[in-house]
Amino acid sequence: MSSKPTPGRFREGRAGNHAPAPQRRRRWPWVLVGVFVVLGALAGVGGIFASQALGVRDDLMAAKSQLGSLTEAYKKGDAAQMQSIGAEALRLTTKADATVEGPLWDVASALPVVGVNIAAVRSATEATHIIVRDALPSGIELLGIMSPDKLKVEGGGINLAPFQQAQQTLPQIKTVLASAQAKVSGIDRAALLPVVDDAVGQLISVVDQAGPMLDTVEKVLPIALRMAGSEGPRNYLVVFQNNAEIRATGGNAATSTLIHAENGKIEKVEDDSVEDFYNAGVTGRLRSDLPDETLALYEWDFTKNAQNFTRTPDFPTTAQMFSQLWTQTNDSQLDGVISMDPVALSYMLKASGPVPLKDGSEINADNAVKLLLNDTYEKFGTNGLAADAYFADVASRVFDKIASGSWEPTAMIDQLTRSVDEDRIYAWFPREDENALAVDLKIDGALTADNTKATQVGIYLNNASYSKLEYFLSTSLTVTCDAATRTMTTSLTMASTVPGSNMSGYRLGYRNPSMDLPRTTMILDTLYVAPPGSTITAISPADGDVKRWNRDGAEKGHPLASRTMLLKKGETKTVSFTTQLPEGDLGPLEVRYSPTVTQTPVTIDASCTAMFPAAK
């Protein structure tokens, strides 16, 4: 993780109190079908019918309660309890279904005004019973074979057999869901009483959402299985970005691990091919095919050292550089490049639990970021090689723990989702269908081709002092708009909390003395990337703090301006860029930036709502 040629790599999310609610990425949970609440009293239908209606309500409420306990039973791996839950839910919905099929419900459904509500409750009850009777047993069976203890593979990895079985079961579950949907599709919700609409609407929402979700799972599962090596071995490079030496997509990319996946089993590769690849990365042997206009946007060492491949805000470009270096070194192809940072690792440690280290200490969710990005450098002083080796060893041990599968799956999914939401995880795959999955999950980290799906704007940072000072950097972003002039101003505020020069010399600015700057001053290449088709009309300060380093151009169709800012110990500075947006419709505003060790708040002013359908 050094700026000097040494071994060793790591980004963050968007939020803001004044911004419209961000669109959240969805993960794909296992599809369990819920049930609904029905009305409790129906005036004018008669005492017997009212009693039946209350009985149906009670049965369905009890079934809903039963199904709500499935998650806990799954977490415990208690197959017997899951079967018991399914049996009781079926008994209850069977009883409710038999009631609504009775002659009183035929008569009541034909009554004026109230009849449409009774018919809706009847259809919803029938649909619920269809799902519980015909789909729930398959769902419980899948949960049973996907219990945590059955998903693990000795030595590390995931047992693919349950997922392959799920692949065979999904069509049958989809057929059942379609039958249930047919039952409720004719309900005119506008004619229902509010209490009935609320109850029936819960079921309709579940059915409507479950259908597309199952379609997605059915589409994605075969791809995911192939990526796990079900049809042959795969090799993936996992790159760790070090936020303490910041780069556009997170940080210095000097630490990486090659992962071999075959039939679900996951192993680290540590052989001559990896050593050759590493050596090529630190000695500048990449034969880059990037266009001159892209190369001109970054410092000369952008393609000369693998730790600098992350200077570009376009992660596919970064990943392809790593992939090309691997091919040029080993005459073979990588099957993908995955990136994460120490903050993402700390989240994963919340699910996996602590990991013992060779010195007798441990790394855990609470100390991971400080240990990797602060304590390591103080421990090894100016010995950068030792610091990087320690970093690599710790990252390797954490990987071993996670690959072992000795953690609760739903907890790990929650932490991975959090990392994805904060843009701390990226992925690129050379196969089109697999990379489409990365795009769908919003982990591709790509600069957009146009403004159709999103109007993408960003301010990124690249360390230009060759230091590890950004452990002490915090940032915030603000976007304001002028709809009348169709302009947008994006501002990045940077604050340094560097405690002083009494730190390891390896952490302090290596380049600073040549510029007559204190070694505690951050030198930050501040990179503004405007939406495609727009024009950068103003920058403040116009020439930054080092005018001779100004760079302007375009990358992937995005206008780009780079201004170098000097951030002294304890100082706070703001840099702003104003853009004239193109004519025509604009997609939702998407604000991007380089993730730091801490969260980066984003505030999108209300003035922007007139120009963008929604902000995210």
**Mean pLDDT throughout 4-29?**
36
DSSP state of 540: E
Q: How many residues does the chain have?
A: 616
DSSP state of 472: G
Q: Say which residues have a Cβ less than 8 Å from residue 546's Cβ, sequence separation at least 6.
A: 515, 523, 564, 566
Sheet containing 487-496: which strands, arranged edge to edge? 535-540, 572-580, 487-496, 473-482, 602-604
Amino acid found at 169: T
Distance CA 81, CA 73 (A): 6
- Whether the CB-CB separation of 344 and 491 falls below 8 Å is answered with no
- Whether the CB-CB separation of 337 and 257 falls below 8 Å is answered with no
- Whether the CB-CB separation of 147 and 107 falls below 8 Å is answered with no
**Mean pLDDT throughout 445-450?**
96
Backbone angles phi, psi at 492, to 5 degrees: -115, 125
**Mean pLDDT throughout 374-386?**
84
Cα–Cα distances in angstroms (integers) from residue 399 to residues 227, 344, 457, in the given order: 18, 12, 33
- Among the residue ranges 179-193, 434-448, 577-591, the one predicted with the least confidence is 179-193
Q: Say which residues have a Cβ less than 8 Å from residue 222's Cβ, sequence separation at least 6.
A: 167
Helical (H) or strand (E) element with 573: strand 572-580
Tens-place pLDDT, residues 56-90: 889 888 988 888 888 788 877 788 898 999 999 99
Question: What pLDDT, on a 0 to 100 scale, did the predictor assign at position 77?
Answer: 76
Structure tokens at 564: 């170098």
Q: What is the CA radius of gyration of the chain?
A: 28
Q: Say which residues have a Cβ less than 8 Å from residue 126's Cβ, sequence separation at least 6.
A: 97, 100, 101, 183
- Number of neighbours of residue 331 by Cβ within 10 angstroms: 8
Question: What pLDDT, on a 0 to 100 scale, did the predictor assign at position 461?
Answer: 98
Structural domains for the chain: 47-145+161-227 (no CATH), 234-428 (3.40.630), 448-608 (no CATH)
Distance CA 528, CA 492 (A): 10
Q: What is the mean pLDDT of the chain?
A: 87
Closest CA to 266 of 155, 412, 122: 155
- Whether the CB-CB separation of 602 and 16 falls below 8 Å is answered with yes
Question: What pLDDT, on a 0 to 100 scale, did the predictor assign at position 616?
Answer: 52
Would you call 56 helix, strand, or coil by DSSP?
Answer: helix
pLDDT at position 154 over 80: no
Tens-place pLDDT, residues 500-518: 999 999 899 999 999 999 9
Bridge partners, 258 (sequence order): 237, 269
Closest CA to 243 of 320, 323, 319, 346: 346
pLDDT at position 21 over 80: no
Scan for tokens 């020069």, then name that residue: 501
